[in-house]
A and B are shown apart, each in its own frame.
Chain A
Amino acid sequence: MRNSTIHRIAPVLTALLALSPAIKADEPSPTGDRLSALEQKILVIERNQELKEESAAAAAKSVPKISITDRGFALTSADGANSIKLRGLAQLDSRVFFGDNGASPNAFVLRRARIIAEGTFAKNFSFQLVPEFGGNSVSILDANLGVAINPALGFKIGKLKSPVGLELLQSDSWTFFNERSIVTNLVPNRDLGIQAGGSVLNGILNYSAGVFGGVPDGGSSNNSDFDNEKDFVGRVYATPFKNDSDSPLAGFSLGVSASFGREKTAAGLTGGYKTDGQQTFFKYASTTISDGQSWRISPQLDYRHGPFGLIGEYVVSTVNVRPGATGVKAGLQNKAWQVATGYVLTGENSSYNGVVPKSNFDPVNGTWGAFEITARYANLKIDDDAFPLYASAATNADEASSIGFGLNWYLAKAVAFKFDYYQTRFGFAPGAPAVSNSPSLRQNEKALITRFQVSF
Chain B
Amino acid sequence: MKSIHLLAVLLSLAIAAGASARTIELLNVSYDPTRELYEEFNVAFAKYWKAKTGDDVTIKQSHGGSGKQARSVIDGLPADVVTLALAADIDAIVTHARLINPDWQHHFRQNSSPYTSTIVFLVRKGNPRKIKDWDDLVKPGVSVITPNPKTSGGARWNFLAAWAYARKHTGGEEGARKFVAELFQNVPVLDSGARGSTTTFVQRGIGDVLLAWENEAFLALKEFGNDKFEIIVPSLSILAEPPVAVVDKVAKKKGTTAVASAYLEYLYSDEGQDIAGKNVYRPISPAAQAKYASTFPKLDLVTIDRDFGGWTKAQATYFADDGVFDQIYLKK
Contacts and interface: CB of A to CB of B under 8 A. Distances in A.
B112 interface: no
B11 A196 contact: yes
Interface string A36-52: 00001001101110010
Contacts of B189: 44, 47-48, 51
A149 B15 contact: yes
Contacts of B15: 149
Nearest to A41: B188
Contacts of A194: 4, 7, 11
B157 to A, nearest CB: 21
Given A149-B15, A155-B11, A44 B3 contact: no
A55 interface: yes
Contacts of A79: 76
Given A43-B204, A149-B18, A55 B3 contact: no
Interface in B185-243: 188-192, 196, 200, 204-207
A232 B4 CA distance: 10
A351 B186 CA distance: 64
A230 interface: yes
A153 interface: yes
B14 A153 contact: yes
Contacts of B190: 51
Nearest to B208: A40
Contacts of B34: none
B66 interface: no
Given A153-B14, A196-B11, A43 B205 contact: yes
Contacts of A230: 3-4
B146 interface: no
Contacts of B192: 51, 55
B143 interface: yes
Nearest to A232: B3
Given A47-B204, A47-B206, A153-B18, A40 B7 contact: no
A245 interface: no
Contacts of B188: 40, 44, 48
Interface of A is mostly: mixed
A101 interface: no
Of the listed residues A43, A47, A153, A196, the one surrounded by the most CB atoms of chain B closer than 10 A to its CB is A47
Contacts of A55: 192
A448 interface: no
B14 A40 contact: no
Contacts of A196: 11, 14
A62 B196 CA distance: 20
- Size category, B interface: 20 to 34
A40 B4 contact: no
B206 A44 contact: yes
A211 interface: yes
B71 to A, nearest CB: 10
Given A40-B206, A43-B205, A55-B192, A211 B18 contact: no
Contacts of A211: 3-4, 7
A350 B11 CA distance: 37
Nearest to A194: B7
B35 to A, nearest CB: 17
Interface in B16-31: 18
B200 A47 contact: yes
Contacts of A228: 1
Contacts of A47: 189, 200, 204, 206
A51 B204 contact: no
Contacts of B207: 40
B63 to A, nearest CB: 13
Nearest to B189: A47
Contacts of B200: 47
Interface in B114-164: 143
Interface in A98-155: 149-150, 153, 155
Contacts of A62: 75
B74 to A, nearest CB: 12
Interface string B156-191: 000000000000000000000000000000001111
Interface string A214-241: 0000000000000010101000000000
A51 B143 contact: no
A62 B75 CA distance: 10
A54 to B, nearest CB: 8
A177 B182 CA distance: 78
A71 B12 CA distance: 36
25 contacts: A40-B206, A43-B204, A43-B206, A44-B189, A44-B206, A46-B204, A47-B206, A48-B188, A51-B190, A62-B75, A79-B76, A149-B14, A150-B18, A153-B14, A153-B18, A155-B11, A194-B4, A194-B11, A196-B14, A211-B3, A211-B4, A211-B7, A228-B1, A230-B3, A230-B4
Interface of A: 40, 43-44, 46-48, 51, 55, 62, 79, 149-150, 153, 155, 194, 196, 211, 228, 230, 232
Interface pairs A-B: 7 shortest CB-CB: A44-B188, A43-B206, A47-B189, A211-B7, A47-B204, A149-B18, A230-B3
